[in-house]
């Protein structure tokens, strides 16, 4: 459904991206931010699905600054490499790459960002540092240590109650720091619960979260 393309960040860095178009007039744009597994089939499918909802959607390849074509398996080796690549990232550079994706779809209407895992944290930074109209953050662990960021747009949080890597006391601290942000904790769901290709997939939680996400985006993007 979509197509691969090249983006150029403000510092001259070139990165890959995957973009999909809706049928008819776009309701707006959505930047989809990857997990630590890269712009893989799941992220591409997510881009396609948001296009089916009427948005121009795009996913920038955030690992391209350190390793191009980094598409990793959903296993221990893939997770270890993904964590290593994530640890090499500089958040300021990541935001430059997100901004390049925003610029690519500029003119389609309001633009939001939706991120998963690592991407959930990136979406949080984008809400504070980029020009977006809405941000949805799925189980972004780095939000807990960066709760002091001040978002400039409406934000929504999704968390798994059984997420071994994101303690609920940290989630509750974020909620206390930002009481106006809608925050949902899904019982029985762990990290990565929204990804149907992962063993942690939780169908009920994923459906509830996406329903809330789409309603939120309709309100804030169109």
For position 165, what pLDDT does the model report? Answer: 95
Model pLDDT, residue 199: 87
3-class SS of residue 185:
strand
What pLDDT digit, counting tens, does each position of 208-219 carry? 999 999 999 999
Find tokens 């712009």 and name the residue.
Answer: 39
pTM of the model: 0.97
Listed as ranges, residues in the chain with pLDDT below 70 are none
Output the pLDDT for position 1: 74
Domains along the chain with CATH numbers: 3-220 (3.40.50.1820)
Long-range CB pairs of 177-180, under 8 A, 24+ apart, other chains included: 177/147, 177/148, 178/147, 178/151
Dist. CA 136–CA 132, nearest whole Å: 11
């Amino acid at each position: 459904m979509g197509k691969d393309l090249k983006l150029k960040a403000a510092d001259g860095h070139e990165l890959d991206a995957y973009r999909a178009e809706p049928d008819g007039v776009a309701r707006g744009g959505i930047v989809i931010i990857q997990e630590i597994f890269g712009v893989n089939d799941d992220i591409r499918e997510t881009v396609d699905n948001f296009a089916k909802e009427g948005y121009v959607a795009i996913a920038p390849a955030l690992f391209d600054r350190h390793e191009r074509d980094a598409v990793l398996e959903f296993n221990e080796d893939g997770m270890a490499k993904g964590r290593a690549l994530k640890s090499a990232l500089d958040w300021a550079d990541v935001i430059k790459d997100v901004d390049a994706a925003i610029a690519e779809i500029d003119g389609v209407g309001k633009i939001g960002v939706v991120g998963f895992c690592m991407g959930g944290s990136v979406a949080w930074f984008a809400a504070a540092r980029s020009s977006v109209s809405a941000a949805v953050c799925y189980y972004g662990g780095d939000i807990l240590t960066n709760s002091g960021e001040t978002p400039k747009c409406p934000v929504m949080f999704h968390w798994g109650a059984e997420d071994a890597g994101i303690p609920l006391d940290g989630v509750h601290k974020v909620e206390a720091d930002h009481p106006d942000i809608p925050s949902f904790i899904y019982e029985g769901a762990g990290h990565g619960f929204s990804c149907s290709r992962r063993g942690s997939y939780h169908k009920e939680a994923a459906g509830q979260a996406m329903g809330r996400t789409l309603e939120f985006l309709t309100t804030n993007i169109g």
